[in-house]
């Protein structure tokens, strides 16, 4: 008896064939303990032959839909040939990279290993070679403090990360600890200086805001009054509408000039206030920002945790 198990949309169907090749039974495999009608009895079980058949799941590939057997074979051969060629090119570049490393030509070695990654982006040998070249045999830690490098490092396979950290992990841990110790007092000093400037900057911003609003409202009202006077030009023969238009129009023009002056001052005051809230506004703040960026990189490298995108201008 041959028994086949077919999965169809969450159901398992068992198909049994006897020794003569006929279908003896087809049942729903999800029903346990049921004996279907027409199934072989225990008395003639020795006359049946049982086969265990595995049906591997095939990944759906839309490129193979509608192909004839010959076309399908040709496509599979082309893919296999492309895979072998990519592996050969990768291995050749890795070999060249290792030779460059042995001669201490780190620039050439990194170039070879980087090209090898274009053929296999998860190649352990190529990834290790890139970082060994980039750090000049793991003697230069500066590449670890570049945000882009740190983010790529955090996304590498654990095998590669662990191998590299065995070489440089202790040094990077010490460097991170030193950065954190320097950041604590500097951060407090930067925040204290920022708070001291914040009051004066807010007063300056309020000064320009009030005057900008006052001259803006005055200009609108005077322009409206000029329009009112103009409405009386054709209704009266007196000169007072003309005088009113001239006076209100002149005052509106003056208000517009002051409006532009104070508006520029307001924009400058707002910019100063925004710069005060950022670290880039002072020398201590820029130093603190540099330390925070370095600590961010080391956190990604040592812990592999996800973090906000690296921003050099924050």
Residue 30 clears pLDDT 70, i.e. is over it: no
Residue 39 clears pLDDT 50, i.e. is over it: no
β-partners of residue 15 are 4, 26
What is the predicted pLDDT for the residue at 306? 55
Question: Which residues in 207-239 are b (16+ Cβ under 10 Å) and which e?
Answer: ebbebbeebbebbeebbebbeebeeeeeeeeee
With respect to residue 250, please indicate whether it lies within any of the assigned structural domains: yes
What is the predicted pLDDT for the residue at 61? 58
With respect to residue 30, please indicate whether it lies within any of the assigned structural domains: yes
What is the predicted pLDDT for the residue at 275? 83
With respect to residue 58, please indicate whether it lies within any of the assigned structural domains: no
With respect to residue 298, please indicate whether it lies within any of the assigned structural domains: yes
Three-state DSSP class for residue 274: helix
Cα–Cα distances (Å) from 169 to 262, 276, 293, in that order, read 56, 36, 18
Q: What is the CATH number of the domain that holds 267?
A: 1.10.287
User: Which of 19-28, 221-230, 265-274, 281-290 has the least mean pLDDT?
Assistant: 19-28
Given its phi and psi angles, is residue 96 left (phi above 0), alpha (psi -120 to 50 degrees) or beta? alpha
Confidence band (pLDDT; 50, 70, 90) for 314?
very low
90: enclosing H helix or E strand: helix 69-102
Burial of 125 (0-12, 13-18, 19+ CB in 10 A): middle
- Vertex 269, ends 267 and 271: CA angle to 5°? 70
With respect to residue 101, please indicate whether it lies within any of the assigned structural domains: no
pLDDT tens, position by position, 139-175: 999 999 999 999 999 999 999 999 999 999 999 999 9
Residue 53 clears pLDDT 50, i.e. is over it: no
With respect to residue 277, please indicate whether it lies within any of the assigned structural domains: yes
Residue 214 clears pLDDT 60, i.e. is over it: yes
Q: Which long-range contacts (CB under 8 A, 24 or more apart) does 131-135 make?
A: 131/160, 131/164, 132/101, 133/97, 133/100, 133/101, 133/106, 133/107, 133/109, 134/106, 134/110, 135/168
| Contact residues for 120 (Cβ-Cβ < 8 A; gap 6+) | 86, 87, 90, 126
What is the predicted pLDDT for the residue at 67? 67
Q: How many CB atoms lie within 10 A of CB 301?
A: 23
Average pLDDT over residues 201-224: 94
With respect to residue 231, please indicate whether it lies within any of the assigned structural domains: yes
Confidence band (pLDDT; 50, 70, 90) for 65?
low
**How far is the C-alpha of 128 from the C-alpha of 159, rounded, in Å?**
10
What is the predicted pLDDT for the residue at 299? 93
Average pLDDT over residues 280-306: 86
Per the structure, the complete domain to which residue 251 belongs is given by: 172-303
> Quick one: what percent of the chain has pLDDT higher than 70?
75
More confident residue, 145 or 25: 145
Domain boundary among 29, 52, 75: 52
Residue 199 clears pLDDT 80, i.e. is over it: yes
Count: domains in the chain: 2
With respect to residue 217, please indicate whether it lies within any of the assigned structural domains: yes
Cα–Cα distances (Å) from 157 to 123, 152, 223, in that order, read 9, 10, 69
β-partners of residue 52 are 3
Contact 110, 133 (CB under 8 A): yes
pLDDT tens, position by position, 75-100: 788 888 888 998 999 999 999 999 99
């Amino acid at each position: 008896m041959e028994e086949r198990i077919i999965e169809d949309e969450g159901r398992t169907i068992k198909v049994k064939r006897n020794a003569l090749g006929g279908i003896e039974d087809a049942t729903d495999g999800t029903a346990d303990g049921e004996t279907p009608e027409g199934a072989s009895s225990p008395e003639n079980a020795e006359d049946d032959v049982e086969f265990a058949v595995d049906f591997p799941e095939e990944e759906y590939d839309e490129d193979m839909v509608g192909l004839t057997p010959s076309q399908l074979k040709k496509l599979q051969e082309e893919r296999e040939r492309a895979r072998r060629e990519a592996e050969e090119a990768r291995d050749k570049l890795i070999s060249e990279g290792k030779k460059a490393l042995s001669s201490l030509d780190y620039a050439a070695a990194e170039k070879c290993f980087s090209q090898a990654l274009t053929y296999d982006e998860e190649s352990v040998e190529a990834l290790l070679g890139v970082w060994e070249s980039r750090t000049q045999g793991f003697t230069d830690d500066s590449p670890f403090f570049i945000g882009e490098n740190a983010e790529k490092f955090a996304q590498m396979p654990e095998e590669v990360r662990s191998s590299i950290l065995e070489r440089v992990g202790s040094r990077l841990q010490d460097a991170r600890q030193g950065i954190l110790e320097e950041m604590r007092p500097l951060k407090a000093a930067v925040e204290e200086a920022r708070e001291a400037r914040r009051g004066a900057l807010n007063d300056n911003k309020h000064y320009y805001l009030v005057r900008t609003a006052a001259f803006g409202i005055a200009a609108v009202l005077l322009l409206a009054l000029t329009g009112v006077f103009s409405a009386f030009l054709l209704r009266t023969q007196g000169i007072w509408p003309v005088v009113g238009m001239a006076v209100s129009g002149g005052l509106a023009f003056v208000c517009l000039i002051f409006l532009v002056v104070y508006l520029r001052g307001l924009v400058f005051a707002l910019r100063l206030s925004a710069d005060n809230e950022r670290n880039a506004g002072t020398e201590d703040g820029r130093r603190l920002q540099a330390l925070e960026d370095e600590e961010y990189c080391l956190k990604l490298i040592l812990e592999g945790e996800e973090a906000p995108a690296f921003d050099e201008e924050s």
